[in-house]
Structures are given as C-alpha cells and as structure tokens.
Amino acid sequence: MPITPEELTRRIRQATPFLETLGVEVVSAGDDEAVIRLPMRKELTQDVGFAHGGVVGALADLTANMAWRPPSLTVEYKINFLRGAKGKELICRARLLRKGSTVTISQSEVFGVDDDGNEHLAAVCMATLAPYK
C-alpha cells in the first residue's frame, strides 16, 4: 500500500527533527518527482523579509532527495537565487534528470506563493545524490 503524503511527512519529520522545525509538508513524492510545501512564518525570514537562503536551500535539497526516494545523501548541490522568496508559503518541485546506480541528478525549483495563489520562481537547484548504504 502506498504511503500517504501525511504519513511521509510524519516519517521525515520524525527522522530529521530539523524538518519538523522548518514545518515542511510533503504534497507528493513518487515517479521520480516530488513536491513539498513550506508554510512561511517570520522565524524563517532574513532581515528584509524574504525566506532565508538556508531555508530555501534546505527545501530544494530535501525535495531533490524525495524525488529519488531510496535513502540518499547529497554529494553536491548548486543553487541559483533568482529573486527573494516570499509569500504565504514556498512550494518546491523536483524531478530526476538522470537516475544512476552510483549517482543521480535532480533539479529543484522553489517558488514563493502569494496570497492570491500566484507562484513566483525564486530559486533553481541542481543536486547530485548518492545512495546511502
């Protein structure tokens, strides 16, 4: 039986307390793609009100790993911040670009979502992942 997004959220928050602190929520994960949302709150922002770059990077990294789904470790990632991430929530979508036996490449896109539900691309991340053995 497939794991529901709610159960997957519970499991990743339990396994990694940092994700509980952030408040991430799995929207979907499977078929080499993942979507994770992060309700924004003041504690996650930097001095001018945008989501802190570390929060955006963590969200992109987590979503990249969730798209693959075996236990994995990030070998390297590069993130381009295109604009300040702000809004009522952040949404991150990741997809696998290349799945290999020793490394996998994933691309994540982080969007700020405004009060009207409009998404604004804030960052793009390329991640190299390795299976955790």
Q: Choose among 72, 71, 78, 130: nearest CA to 107.
A: 78
Q: Is the predicted pLDDT of residue 1 greater than 70, yes or no?
A: no
Asked whether 59 and 23 are in contact (CB, 8 A), the reply is no
Asked whether 51 and 45 are in contact (CB, 8 A), the reply is yes
Look up the domain containing 103 and give its range.
Answer: 5-131
As beta bridge partners, residue 28 has 35
Look up the pTM and report it. 0.94
Q: Could you identify the residue written with the tokens 């504690």?
A: 43
With a CB cutoff of 8 Å and minimum separation 6, the contacts of 75 are: 103, 128, 129, 130
Residue 7 phi, psi dihedral angles, 5° rounding: -70, -40
For residue range 17-63, what is the model confidence (pLDDT) as tens digits?
A: 999 999 999 999 988 999 999 999 999 999 999 999 999 999 999 99
Number of domains in the chain: 1
At 52, which CATH number?
A: 3.10.129.10
Rg (CA), the chain: 14
Mean of all residue pLDDT scores within the chain: 95
